[in-house]
Amino acid sequence: MLTPRVLFVCTANSARSQMAEALLRKHAGARFEAYSAGIDPGEINPLTVRVLNEIGVDASGQWAKSVELFRGKMHFDYVITVCSNAEERCPFFPAVTARLHWPFDDPATASGSEEERLARFRAVRDEIEKRILAWLQEVQ
């Protein structure tokens, strides 16, 4: 049996979708193959890597990718958008078992001191982790 593949999609693939990819790998182990991509990919926000490292998740091998890297080239069982912009603009992926929408605030838009921005990244990381853990219970 093939391992189900999950693609997390957001706008830039710089924070939310990267966190979701890394956290699914952490919690699902070999149950799922986790990927992430962006509609308009940029660079991974350094605070994304930092807040993942704080909880023992190594995201150093991850990089920002376009959905076009995968579309039509790889089958996904689940495509999960993590922001409203991606939900509206996400291209069609054929033969997807389920397309889900889990909206999270964009921590990259946080302003203030570094500590205030870090607090926003941590809060979003924790929200994503909680949603992934709940979803893993649903799909057992």
pLDDT tens column, 75-102: 899 999 998 777 777 666 667 778 899 9
Give backbone dihedrals phi and psi of 16, rounded to 5 degrees, phi first: -60, -50
The answer to whether 73 is a known catalytic residue is no
Q: What is the pLDDT of residue 131?
A: 98
Q: DSSP assignment, residue 14?
A: S
The answer to whether 20 is a known catalytic residue is no
Does this model's pTM top 0.85? My answer is: yes
pLDDT (average), residues 25-31: 93
The answer to whether 116 is a known catalytic residue is no
In CATH terms, the superfamily for domain 5-138 is Response regulator (3.40.50.2300)
Which residue of the set 10, 23, 34, 86 is catalytic?
10
Contacts of 17 (CB under 8 A, 6+ apart): 8, 9, 10, 36, 37, 38, 82, 86
**Sign, CA torsion 35/37/43/47:** negative
Instruction: Give 1's pLDDT tier (boundaries 50, 70, 90).
Output: low
The domain segmentation of the chain, as residue ranges, is 5-138
Percent of the chain residues past pLDDT 90, beyond the cut = 73
Rounded mean pLDDT of the chain? 91
In terms of average pLDDT, the best of 41-45, 98-102, 130-134 is 130-134
Which residue of the set 9, 80, 83, 108 is catalytic?
83
> How far is the C-alpha of 67 from the C-alpha of 73, rounded, in Å?
10
Categorise residue 91: left if φ over 0, alpha if ψ from -120 to 50, beta otherwise.
Answer: beta
Which residue of the set 22, 44, 64, 90 is catalytic?
90
